[in-house]
Structure 1
């Protein structure tokens, strides 16, 4: 089937199907995907903790100003907004850095594998969209986690 089609191509003298090699490569790729997912989850948790703790430190540093705002009648949502906005900015900056790293890795992959194989990758528009959405979700969750202890609803 595929081997026959490849044999028919101009310039191809010999084509064979190496089932053992393909199985081994498939196994390696599957292991790499699992390790990548585990690392992604670990990085997600670390990022969440960092954003939460950063927001908590900022709230702690501004505790006097927050108490003054409460005494003047500011609502909790009015006090919370700047901290959530700061978390969102952190998330967008993180998404920007990850997009830069992905762009560099994609360029390196393209350069190294240009003559060998074309690996299917996610479209850049989808990658950017998912990265920004994921960065914002991470920032919102981290911000609300950090705010919830010091600023009750």
Structure 2
């Protein structure tokens, strides 16, 4: 599906061509229907991604192109726990698929249908879905509160209730 110039933000209509970028439900990038397999290009695209008015865009070589996203634009590949000797979690760090590492903000955690885990990542607050290894690592540390029907992650003595995603 091509993006019409009338659907893009101001300034983009002056571009000669608006590329069709897609991130599928598994976090794979496509440009004009072709998979993005070059690791450097993937990192560049992922790191230049931003959201405006509920839609995603990528800034590339001075141009802005829309990105259609099936689920989440970013994916958490790994989770690293800083723990006390008795197992209490002091901090959680995440590594995104593009290699960026940052501290998890547990207050942004959410769960969808008890099978998908999300957080907000990067300074741009983009939605990130936990890939299977990261999901299982963090899910093993969650507790369930039956009375409130919520999952909880305790970090540095503070309990964070995971919001439900529609």
Same fold (TM over 0.5): no
Higher Cα Rg, which structure: 1
Of the two structures, which has the highest relative contact order with CA contacts closer than 8 Å and spacing of 6 or more? 1
Higher helix proportion (structure 1 or 2): 1
Q: Tell me which interval the TM-score lies in, with the shorter structure as reference length.
A: under 0.3
TM-score, length-scaled by structure 2: 0.22
Higher strand proportion (structure 1 or 2): 2
TM-score, length-scaled by structure 1: 0.23
